Amino acid sequence: MNIFRIGLLLGIRQIQRASIWTNILIVFVMALTFLNLIAVSGILVGLIVGSERALQEKSLGDIIVTTKDNETTIIDTPAFTRVLDSIPEIQDYTVRFKEGAQVEANYKTRRDLSQDKNVISGSIVGIDPIKEDAVTGLSTTVVEGEYLDTSEDGYLLLGALTLDRYTAGFADITGSLENIYPGDTVRVTIGQNTKEFFVKGIINAKAGEVSRSIYIPERELRRLGNRVTQDAEEIAIRLQANTDATMVKNALINSGLAEQAKIRTFNEALPKFLVDIKNTFNVLGTFIGSIGIIVASITIFIIIFINALARRRFIGILKGIGIDRTAIEIAYVIQAGVYALAGSLIGVVITYAILIPYFDANPINFPFSDGILVAEPIGTLVRFITLFIITLLAGYIPAWMIARGNTLNAILGRK
């Protein structure tokens, strides 16, 4: 403890006697290193988290109910929804009916029968417009035209990625409709049944299949698809704020509803490729940030080494009057630790007080996601500890190299 106290005193004195600008510069370097370590991986992971949030808000909800593997619809959907109505933790839910359909655009203007049809195949979704909007805010994704009106028949919403002007040159790969705008008519075919619809609006959302789907009122889809039952393919559930999704899911399972459908929380229903990409981006961001740690440790090493070399005679005198070499090494380790601690704390304040709120309010507009900055507290703590330990090591090595030299040579300035 005596050695440690002497080392602590010497370390504090060295920081106090150092140039204020030198201290500021070193702390600034450490803060930038910490931000690099957090921000790079945070933004990369934030791309995928942005996609996950959009998927939860605009498509899957907090709990998603789908058909069992050996069924084509949710068995006895009306009975299922009656149970949902009885659970107070459920805020809203939307029932979706799905069919495969063909949508043709140029059937009125195509005079030459040898001319290619302007047609696409896709998923058509029958919804209650009011309930769907309550769960996913679908009306907020309308970028052209208007949202569906429950009192109107013969209208549909087209996903933006079904139109050539939104597919950014990928129409040859994905297929798209040309020259279609709100107010135009398209012909929808399900099985042997065909009906003409007016395009009420265009929707665009960075969430899974939303921008590739066609939406019509559920009564229209059931008529067009010759459905005699009210059994649906999907139910998205929105829970009350601060409700545990797993608890509600287990309540639904305990009610016997697992016999009728597959019930999953949002996290369980996430596509595996999104999870894999997020993990990959996290590793990639950590690797890139590690380069910053190496640069910072080299910087600290050089600064401590030059500082110790310039004070070599002073170190020799300290050893000559009986100060243990370990106390001198501790002094420089403490100096490096103070720099790392101060820089990291500044980095934490900037990250959580400035950067995260800014990116939450102003997400980065990527084609497939509204990117944010993700900095989990546990991950931040791990990175802080890593940076701190490496910085201590970078401070110890040069101090050890200088302090282990011959005491008399150091005092006399000899090599």
Cα separation, 14 vs 330, whole angstroms: 12
Of 21-30, 255-264, 351-360, which gets the smallest average pLDDT?
21-30
pLDDT at res. 112: 59
> pLDDT for 160-189, tens place per residue?
888 888 876 554 555 788 888 998 899 999
- According to the model, what pLDDT value does residue 406 have? 55
Query: How much of the chain exceeds pLDDT 90, in percent?
Result: 23
Confidence of residue 293 (pLDDT cuts 50, 70, 90): confident
What's the pLDDT score for residue 171?
47
pTM of the model: 0.75
Mean pLDDT, the chain, rounded, equals: 82
Q: What local confidence, expressed as pLDDT, does residue 198 receive?
A: 93
Q: 41-52, pLDDT tens digit by residue?
A: 788 888 888 888
Whether the predicted pLDDT of 275 surpasses 70: yes
Using 50, 70 and 90 to split pLDDT, how confident is the model at 7?
Answer: low
pLDDT-above-70 percentage for the chain: 86
- Ranking 17-26, 156-165, 355-364 by mean pLDDT, the lowest is 17-26
More confident residue, 250 or 315: 250
- Banded pLDDT at 97 (limits 50, 70, 90): very high
Residue 158's pLDDT is 92
User: Is it the case that residue 405 has pLDDT exceeding 70?
Assistant: no
97 compared with 151, residue with greater pLDDT: 97
191: left (phi over 0), alpha (psi -120 to 50) or beta: left
